[in-house]
């Protein structure tokens, strides 16, 4: 056997008349171009692919298009339909001799991606699917499949002049291509449009999951019939061998991986050896199905489906998902684009075939779905929307077409026509659904009617005695596990005394970003699998963060219901506001977007997007809102257990509705036997107060005075301190005097003669207000935690009722 020369196989090992590329170059200073060598060229190709697809995804984001549309279009632009027509570009960036390496990497990414997709499919939930979804899935697949078979005879591949051995595979490929529904793309669209947990979303997700499994079965059949066969018995042997492979995997694979899972305790890192064993098993399964004659991706998909779901599979997903989704999978779209030449669609007949395929695909899916949906007593408009949703195409469509192209079942022209059909049907889904179906109309109507018949607390401060006796419901939002301890201590203090804890309920929402990842689709599936439109009472569907919060709550007397919001960060504030409204909460607590670093005594911005979320919740919330700035509240030595709990709370009261809300919240905390409350009333000199009266704020001042007078009569557990200040320096000094506590409570929009003059150099966090910004800034050297409170006033815009919230709840 020859030795490697510069990372390449010797020329004598190469086929004749094929110029093999060396792996690495000696550098430009040695007179060699990196583009003439395989490794630097594939690096440039990957970077170009990622840059183009991500740029297109950014441009299409305002139209709320899934990323798969951008990736398919990006592949076409890089191929012979656009840039590939430039000879210099084609010969230097994508030369023919480099495509083998690129295609190998693309198929490796596809194989691993199909393994990830298989991990997201829960066979148990499929068995629980209702008859309505099964009927809709069957009708939505059989009619377009039949119409696809009829349409295939309009193409030259199905004519008598073609290769007779390819006619039957071509007909099946066309039927499968027109009947497919892309489950992952559909889930992403539903979540983006806030339809995920509506009845419409639940039915479409169940039907799409069934459709997805059936499509893979039909595709396996089509692949087994395609290819160059020397005997008519070969397809039969391929099909029987494939069935035997699946049966063997069902009998062997789950037992092996369950044995490995038991050796990997939950909560501990998964050993590298076990991860390597799992990935090697996936590769071997792909090798087996490729040797059978089906396709390597089928073996990986079967392994993913049979892989035991749990912490072991989660660890594998976490290790390979970013590499597969970010770098390898986009290469597959580019390889599809390099095979797509739109210029082959010439003449009236060719464009007529494109129109025929688009009309057939849309008509078959929509009519088949609508017909059965109407028989299942789904309203007409929802039935049409359901049909449009089921017409979504995506990666599975491209896989079908590429396999058909590689097996020479589809010609270049037919391949280009089918790719354009996939782009068109997916692109029109979002705008048509938005035009036909607006859940805000029905939801807001229901919401407005219900509020005529019931009233609930929208803030902590209430004047009506009946509202004071109502149950206090609080929605706590968590970004990560670091928010658990401080939020749990706030909730333990808020429960009050043993007499009031029965009238206290906490909802905990873990804010989870919806992404293009398969693991994000897994969260979508958990919502879908429970069969309920909004809330699931199964513990296993909670996120690790909410489960940890529930475990912490068991140390105290706080009753917790956990929820997980699944949404893009740009719209997740709608989920928070709608959940607060549907659960009739009076208070929402959000974590600050920065995390405190105790050793360095400074803040670190982890994700700046959460600042925008907090701002939008403050603007649209249907109840009062608090932002918790944690600076070690969860690090102190006070246990959460009710019997040993202790917390010192200071309230800074300047005046205004927000300060009144903060004070009432502090008084609620003071009812807890372990809480020590000090209220600091800060007022200006008489001249400043006279200026305020002249500024037509008489009612505000008198309201604060009446409020304080009433509070002092009944607040036996609180200590009141009154301070009169003549300058902002005295305000800062008073704050320094009273920050020796566990947490400070302040109003966001405090009113007072000195508030607007506070020495804050720059308002970096307007959501905290002037006092909150002063405390967290470097103007005051302190590490006390702060809860900034905004009272609900019923003014301003609201997103409540405009969405249906994708959440999963546990009791």
Least confident of 58-62, 254-258, 291-295, 446-450: 446-450
Strand partners, 512: 566
pLDDT value for 67: 86
Per-residue model confidence (pLDDT) at position 256:
87
Please report which helix (H) or strand (E) contains residue 651, including its range. Answer: strand 647-653
Whether residue 588 is predicted with pLDDT greater than 90 in this model: the reply is yes
What 8-state DSSP symbol labels residue 752?
S
Please give the average per-residue pLDDT across 523-546, as a whole number. Answer: 45
Residue 643's contacts (CB-CB under 8 Å, 6 or more residues apart) are none
pLDDT given for residue 713 in this prediction: 77
More confident residue, 5 or 439: 439
Between 231 and 239, residue with greater pLDDT: 239
Which of 138, 20, 80, 757 shows the shortest CA–CA distance to 390? Answer: 138
For the cut 50, the answer to whether the pLDDT of residue 802 exceeds it is no
Question: Are residues 631 and 592 in contact, defined by beta-carbon separation less than 8 angstroms?
Answer: no
pLDDT for position 759: 63
Q: Which two tokens stand for residue 788?
A: 């900034």
What digits encode the pLDDT tens for the residues 45-97? 999 999 999 999 999 988 888 888 898 999 999 999 999 899 999 889 999 88
Identify whether the C-beta of residue 552 lies closer than 8 Å to the C-beta of residue 540.
no
**Structural tokens at position 764:** 């970096």
pLDDT at residue 553 tops 80: no
CA 329 to chain centre: 19
The DSSP-derived string for 424-457 is: HHHHTHHHHHHHH--HHHHHHHHHHHHHHH----
* Greater pLDDT, 775 or 538: 775
Percent of the chain with pLDDT over 90: 23
CATH 3.60.21.10 fits 41-436, yes or no: no
Which ranges of 653-756 does DSSP label H, i.e. alpha helix? 657-670, 686-694, 698-714, 728-737
- Burial class, 519, CB count within 10 angstroms (exposed 0-12 / middle 13-18 / buried 19+): middle
* Integer Cα distance of 125 and 542 in angstroms: 16
For 679-704, write each residue's pLDDT tens digit. Answer: 998 887 654 444 444 444 445 566 77
Using one digit for the tens of pLDDT, what is the confidence trace for 332-364? 988 998 899 999 999 899 999 999 999 999 999
Q: How far apart are CA 74 and CA 68, in angstroms?
A: 10
Say how far apart CA 184 and CA 426 lie, in whole Å: 12
Q: Are the CB atoms for 443 and 804 separated by under 8 Å? A: yes
Instruction: Locate the domains of the chain by residue range.
Output: 41-436, 471-529+543-686+695-790
Instruction: Give the model's pLDDT for residue 693.
Output: 42
Residue 686's pLDDT is what? 56
| DSSP at 5 | B
Question: Rounded to an integer, what distance in angstroms lies between the CA atom of residue 764 and that of residue 781?
Answer: 17
Residue 380 backbone phi and psi in degrees, to 5: -60, -50
- Say which CATH architecture domain 471-529+543-686+695-790 belongs to: 3-Layer(aba) Sandwich (3.40)
Residue 312 pLDDT greater than 60, yes or no: yes
The CA distance from 682 to 737, in Å, is 13
Are 110 and 372 in contact by the 8 Å Cβ rule? The answer is no
Residue 619 and residue 779 in contact, taking contact as beta carbons nearer than 8 Å? no
Residue closest to 633 by CA, chosen among 487, 793, 750? 487
Residues in Cβ contact with 287 at an 8 Å cutoff, skipping those fewer than 6 apart: 296, 299
Secondary structure letter of residue 720 according to DSSP: E
Residue-wise pLDDT for 151-177, tens only, equals 999 998 877 555 566 788 888 889 989
Q: Tell me how crowded residue 132 is: count the other CB atoms within 10 A of its CB.
A: 19
Residue 738 has what DSSP assignment?
T
Q: What is the pLDDT of residue 799?
A: 44
DSSP string, 488-552: HHHHHHHT-STTTGGGEEEEEEEEEE--SSHHHHHHHHHHHHT--SS----GGGS-HHHHHHHHH
Nearest Cα residue to 74 out of 94, 46, 55, 97:
55
What is the mean pLDDT of the segment spanning 560-573? 77
Q: Give pLDDT, residue 184.
A: 77
Least confident of 215-219, 599-603, 632-636: 632-636
- What 3-state class would DSSP assign to 715? coil
Q: What is the mean pLDDT of the chain?
A: 79
Q: Cβ(417)–Cβ(151) under 8 Å?
A: no
Residue 148 has pLDDT above 50, yes or no: yes
């Amino acid at each position: 056997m020859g030795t490697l020369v510069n990372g390449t196989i010797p020329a004598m090992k190469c086929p004749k008349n094929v110029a093999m590329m060396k792996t690495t170059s000696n550098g430009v200073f040695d007179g060699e171009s990196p583009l003439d060598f395989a490794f630097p060229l594939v690096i440039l190709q990957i970077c170009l692919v990622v840059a183009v697809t991500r740029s297109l995804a950014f441009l299409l984001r305002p139209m709320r298009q899934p990323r798969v549309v951008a990736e398919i279009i990006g592949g076409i632009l890089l191929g012979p339909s656009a840039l590939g027509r430039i000879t210099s570009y084609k010969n230097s960036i994508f030369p023919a001799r480099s495509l083998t390496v690129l295609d190998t990497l693309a198929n490796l990414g596809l194989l691993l991606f199909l393994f990830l997709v298989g991990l997201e499919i829960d066979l148990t939930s499929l068995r629980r699917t209702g008859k309505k979804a099964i009927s809709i899935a069957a009708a939505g697949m059989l009619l377009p499949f039949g119409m696809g078979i009829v349409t295939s005879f309009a193409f030259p591949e199905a004519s008598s002049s073609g290769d007779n051995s390819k006619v039957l595979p071509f007909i099946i490929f066309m039927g499968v291509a027109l009947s497919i529904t892309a489950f992952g793309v559909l889930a992403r669209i539903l979540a983006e449009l806030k339809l995920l947990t509506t009845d419409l979303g639940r039915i479409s997700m169940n039907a799409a999951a069934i459709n997805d499994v059936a499509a893979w079965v039909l595709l396996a059949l089509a692949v087994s019939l395609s290819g160059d066969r020397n005997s008519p018995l070969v397809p039969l042997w391929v099909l029987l061998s494939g069935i035997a492979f699946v049966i063997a995997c069902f009998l062997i694979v789950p037992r092996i991986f369950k044995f490995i899972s038991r050796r990997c305790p939950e909560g501990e890192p998964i050993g590298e050896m076990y991860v390597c064993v799992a990935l090697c098993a996936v590769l071997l399964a792909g090798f087996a199905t490729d040797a059978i004659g089906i396709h390597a991706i089928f073996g990986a998909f079967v392994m993913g489906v049979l892989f035991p779901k749990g912490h072991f599979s989660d660890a594998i997903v976490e290790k390979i998902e970013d590499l597969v989704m970010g770098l390898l999978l986009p290469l597959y779209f580019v390889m599809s684009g390099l095979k797509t030449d739109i210029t082959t669609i010439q003449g009236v007949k060719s464009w007529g075939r494109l129109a025929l395929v688009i009309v057939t695909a849309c008509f078959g899916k929509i009519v088949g779905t609508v017909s059965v949906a109407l028989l299942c007593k789904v309203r007409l408009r929802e039935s049409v929307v359901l049909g449009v949703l089921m017409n979504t195409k995506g990666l599975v469509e491209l896989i079908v077409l590429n396999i058909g192209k590689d097996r020479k079942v589809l010609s270049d022209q037919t391949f280009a026509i089918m790719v354009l059909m996939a782009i068109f049907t997916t692109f029109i889904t979002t705008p048509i659904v938005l035009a036909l179906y607006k859940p805000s109309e029905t939801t807001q109507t229901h919401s407005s009617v219900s509020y005529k018949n019931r009233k609930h607390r929208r803030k902590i401060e209430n004047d009506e005695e009946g509202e004071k006796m109502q149950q206090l419901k609080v929605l706590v939002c968590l970004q990560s596990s670091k928010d658990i301890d401080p939020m749990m201590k706030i909730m333990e203090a808020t429960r009050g005394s043993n007499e009031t804890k029965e009238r206290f309920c906490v909802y905990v929402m873990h804010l989870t970003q919806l992404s293009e990842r398969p693991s994000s689709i897994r969260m979508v599936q958990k919502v879908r699998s429970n069969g309920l439109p909004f809330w699931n009472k199964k513990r296993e569907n909670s996120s690790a963060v909410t489960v940890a919060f529930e475990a912490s709550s068991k140390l105290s007397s706080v009753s917790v219901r956990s929820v997980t919001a699944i949404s893009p960060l740009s719209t997740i504030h709608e989920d928070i506001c709608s959940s607060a409204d549907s659960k009739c909460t009076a208070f929402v607590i959000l974590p600050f977007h920065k995390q405190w670093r105790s050793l360095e005594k400074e803040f670190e911005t982890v994700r700046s997007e959460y600042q925008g979320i907090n701002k939008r919740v403050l603007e649209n919330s249907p109840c009062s809102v608090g932002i918790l700035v944690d600076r070690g509240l969860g690090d102190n030595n006070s246990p959460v257990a009710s019997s040993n709990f202790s917390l010192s709370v200071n309230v800074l009261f300047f005046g205004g509705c927000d300060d009144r809300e903060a004070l009432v919240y502090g008084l609620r905390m003071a009812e807890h036997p372990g809480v020590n409350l000090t209220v600091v009333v800060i007022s200006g000199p008489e001249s400043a107060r006279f200026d305020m009266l002249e500024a037509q704020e008489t009612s505000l001042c008198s309201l604060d005075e009446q409020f304080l007078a009433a509070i002092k009569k009944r607040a036996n557990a609180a200590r009141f301190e009154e301070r009169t200040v003549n300058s902002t320096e005295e305000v800062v000094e008073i704050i320094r005097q009273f920050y020796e506590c566990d947490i400070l409570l302040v109003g966001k929009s405090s009113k007072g003669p000195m508030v607007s003059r506070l020495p804050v150099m720059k308002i970096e966090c307007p959501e905290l207000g002037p006092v909150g910004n002063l405390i967290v800034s470097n103007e005051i050297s302190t590490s006390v935690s702060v809860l900034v409170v905004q009272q609900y006033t019923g003014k301003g815009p609201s997103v409540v009722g405009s969405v249906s919230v994708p959440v999963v709840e546990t009791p």
